[in-house]
Structure 1
Amino acid sequence: MHVDLHPDLADSIAAKGARDLLSACVHCGFCLETCPTYLETRDERDSPRGRIYLVRQLLETGTASATTRHHLDRCLTCRSCETTCPSGVKYAQLAELGQHLTEQAAPRPRPMRLYRWLLRETISRPRLFALLLGVGQRLRPLVPGPLRLQIPRRQQRLPVPATSRPRTMLVLEGCVQAAATPNTNDAARRVLDQLGISLQAAPRSGCCGAVQQHLGNETGALANLRHNIDAWWPHIEAGAEAIVSSASGCGAMLADYGRLLADDPAYAVKARRVSELACDLGQVLEREDLSSLRPDTGCGKVAVHTPCSLQHALREPTLVATVLRRAGFSLADTREDHLCCGSAGTYSLLQPALSDSLRRRKIRALSGDQPAIIATANIGCQLQLATAAVPVVHWIELLDPARPVSARK
């Protein structure tokens, strides 16, 4: 796709980057039928190809409207189109640049700017988010039924291994997950301990940067990246084998550290090393001998939900299913595995109607084979799917030697 930049954008680095990424698109339309929002609305402006045309229009005219912003905002950035695209269009990067340029050409109303700022500054601060979630959990009995299911119950923490193992890996604790489902990383510690691996957190690390990045605050996102690199670097120099994320959305962000800081002379090398060491928890277990694990596999059929970040960003569509099969679990048949559940970070808060429609579609696709449990690999998806008729857990909980999976909601 050829683009002639408008003179007002001739010196814009973002515009030049978007133009270069646009050039790979050949208008084939293969992406349309794999785009969750297009399947819901059947409006091509809610498809990757349609959004690419909107960005092209912005680049050539130097202007954008609220309509442009509306359709770009409705993108989940699930990257299903990237998996499908025969031309290798890097759509996620293009959408990011397009949204940045649209913010400049068609600024949001002040109330929406404030709302997005509050989301960024609340969710990306683990202590603040934990405090606010604690208030919500105490008020949970007073909340109406459907909404109540979206407020996770406070989890009872179980002991984690206190002894050190010969091998050490770092863990990204995360923001929402650390507060809402702390047993996920606790379970990971217990499972990896059985495999001779100590999973340690760097106390000074914080948000991975995804929330700031996806809500358009690149400066804040890069500050998160640098902060984490500084916290992890002494441990990396001491021989940590990997930086493990049990939330695939955070894992996808870690994999991008090298690209995002490539032009930072003080952090480029370190960021590239972090991305090299970053891995999803499933990738760790896939490489290990699991014969020492003795999970209770009598829980019934497990429906595996592979988050978009694991499937399309990290390109590991069968990872969780492979690990669970090796561990002896019986897996349920599922449909439309490539489609997003509608969580997508803060998407469920910013686009609630479309998100709810995608949630209901995903739950139907996961439930057709009468599973006893739904297992996922990302905290946002776990909370999004919590309205299902069966328990929704992080898959590592199924392998946890200390905690049987509850059959109750």
Structure 2
Amino acid sequence: MQTNLSEAARSLKRAEEAESILRACVHCGFCNATCPTYQLLGNELDGPRGRIYLIKQVLEGQPVTKKTQLHLDRCLSCRNCETTCPSGVRYHALLDIGRAEVERRTTRPMREHWLRAGLRHTVSRPNTFAALLGAGRAVRALLPGSLRDKIPAQAPKARPRPHARHARRVLMLEGCVQPSLAPNTNAAAARVLDRLGISVTPAPQAGCCGANEYHLNAQEAGLDRARHNIDAWWPAVEAGAEAIVISASGCGAFLKEYGDLLRFDQAYAEKARRVSALARDLVEVISAEPLDALRPAAGQRIAFHCPCTLQHAQRLGGAVEGVLARLGFGMTSITNAHLCCGSAGTYSLTQPEIARQLRDRKLDSLEADSPDAIVTANVGCQTHLNSAGRTQVVHWIELVDSLLKPE
């Protein structure tokens, strides 16, 4: 695509990257065919091609309007379009650049401003989030339905984790909301890894990956989270940790981009590259191991919701299904398995109506073949799908954990 960045845009740190991405787009429109919001809304500006054109206008110096901001806000950042694009356009990177510039050049209504600020300052802080979740659970019956549905009535429990006892050691990202919303996920991961001969080295100082703040246009705050995590892990990395394991695919996708996002930071660029190189989604680690410590499944049929951050961002579609199939689970067929469930980090709170429609469509597909269980690989998807009050959705590692042979 021919482009002519304004002088102001050329002064941006990522100007050259933005121009390169814009020039790579041939405006073919294949991306719209797999874009969830375009399929739902039918508006060209609510598809990747239209949003790329809006960002091009912004970077060429044209006025930024509320309409521009609205259509960029509606993007789920699911990256389905990147899987589809024949030209390899790095749409998500351009979207980050465009959103930051739009945010700089516009003001939001006060309600939107405070909602986003509240999400940045609570979701990213595990202790704060846990306290608010507990308070919300106490007054759950009094809350609006859209918020009440996102708060589990019962506080989930985590079974004990094994002590580190193996020569093989990995780090694990604990995350921000997962310790409160699904505490048994990482505990189950630690138990399964232990039985496969891999111990998890605790790193309690590492918390939120930074994606929440970064994608809410507090990009520097998100990068500060990344720097904090690098510092927390660095002693273990230097001591020879073989991987940083992530059980939430959204966090994994962001962690694998630390090296790219911090490439301009002289103090952290090399460390960030090394951390990203060590980042492994949980399924990447488990799929490479023999599974003799696990009993075969007893003929259960499973519907797997593959999060966008697993199949489109990390390009690991089919990996979890492969592990479950090795263990003897039958996998049901999912219509439109490539489409987003509508969770998308905090999207279900900032764009609740679109998120609800996408969630219900996804559950219709997952439930269509009457599976014995529905599993996923990301706490955000899990919580969002469960907010419908239909078939319970759990993390796939909890299913695997249930197959551990007695020692």
TM-score of the superposed pair, with normalisation by structure 1: 0.94
Q: Which moved more, 1:222-231 or 1:146-155?
A: 146-155
CA distance in 2, matches of 1:219, 1:9: 18
CA contact (8 A) 2:294 2:404 kept: no
CA distance in 2, matches of 1:61, 1:226: 33
Provide, for residues 227-275 of structure 1, a one-character-per-residue CA deviation record: whole Å limited to 9, x for no partner.
1011101011111110000000000011001001111111111110100
- Cα–Cα, structure 1 residues 7 and 159, in superposed 2: closer, same or farther, change >3 Å? closer
Match of 1:378 in 2: 378
State percent identity of aligned pairs: 52
CA contact (8 A) 1:208 1:253 kept: yes
CA distance in 2, matches of 1:145, 1:329: 36
CA contact (8 A) 1:342 1:354 kept: yes
Q: Shift in Å at residue 194 of structure 1?
A: 0.8
Q: Which moved more, 1:319-328 or 1:17-26?
A: 17-26
CA contact (8 A) 1:174 1:208 kept: yes
Match of 2:34 in 1: 34
Q: Summarize the alignment of residues 7-406 of structure 1 with structure 2, pairs less than 5 Å apart.
A: 7-140=7-140, 148-152=148-152, 153-294=154-295, 297-298=297-298, 300-386=300-386, 387=388, 389-401=390-402
Q: Shift in Å at residue 63 of structure 1?
A: 1.7
One-letter amino acid of the counterpart of residue 325, structure 2: R
CA contact (8 A) 2:299 2:328 kept: no
CA distance in 2, matches of 1:117, 1:15: 27
Q: Shift in Å at residue 400 of structure 1?
A: 1.1
Q: Which moved more, 1:219-228 or 1:155-164?
A: 155-164
CA distance in 1, matches of 2:39, 2:164: 51
Tell me the number of residue pairs that the alignment of Structure 1 and Structure 2 aligns: 403
CA contact (8 A) 1:308 1:339 kept: yes
Q: What secondary structure does 2:116 align onto?
A: helix
CA distance in 1, matches of 2:190, 2:6: 54
Q: Shift in Å at residue 81 of structure 1?
A: 0.2
- Cα–Cα, structure 1 residues 244 and 34, in superposed 2: closer, same or farther, change >3 Å? same
CA distance in 2, matches of 1:104, 1:333: 44
Provide, for residues 326-352 of structure 1, a one-character-per-residue CA deviation record: whole Å limited to 9, x for no partner.
111111111111100000000000000
CA contact (8 A) 2:262 2:269 kept: yes
One-letter amino acid of the counterpart of residue 282, structure 1: V
Q: What secondary structure does 1:170 align onto?
A: strand
CA contact (8 A) 2:260 2:273 kept: yes
Q: Which moved more, 1:339-348 or 1:213-222?
A: 213-222
* Alpha-carbon RMSD: 1.8
Q: Shift in Å at residue 288 of structure 1?
A: 0.2
CA contact (8 A) 1:363 1:388 kept: no
Q: Shift in Å at residue 6 of structure 1?
A: 2.6
The gaps in structure 2 that reach 5 residues or longer are none
Q: Which moved more, 1:47-56 or 1:386-395?
A: 386-395
The gaps in structure 1 that reach 5 residues or longer are 405-409
Q: Shift in Å at residue 150 of structure 1?
A: 2.4
Q: What secondary structure does 2:375 align onto?
A: strand
Q: Which moved more, 1:87-96 or 1:216-225?
A: 216-225
CA distance in 1, matches of 2:383, 2:404: 20
CA distance in 1, matches of 2:157, 2:13: 49
One-letter amino acid of the counterpart of residue 98, structure 1: G
CA contact (8 A) 2:230 2:272 kept: yes
Q: Shift in Å at residue 314 of structure 1?
A: 0.3
- Cα–Cα, structure 1 residues 367 and 62, in superposed 2: closer, same or farther, change >3 Å? same
CA contact (8 A) 1:311 1:317 kept: yes
Q: What secondary structure does 2:139 align onto?
A: helix
CA distance in 1, matches of 2:404, 2:345: 28
Q: What secondary structure does 2:104 align onto?
A: helix
CA distance in 1, matches of 2:131, 2:307: 27
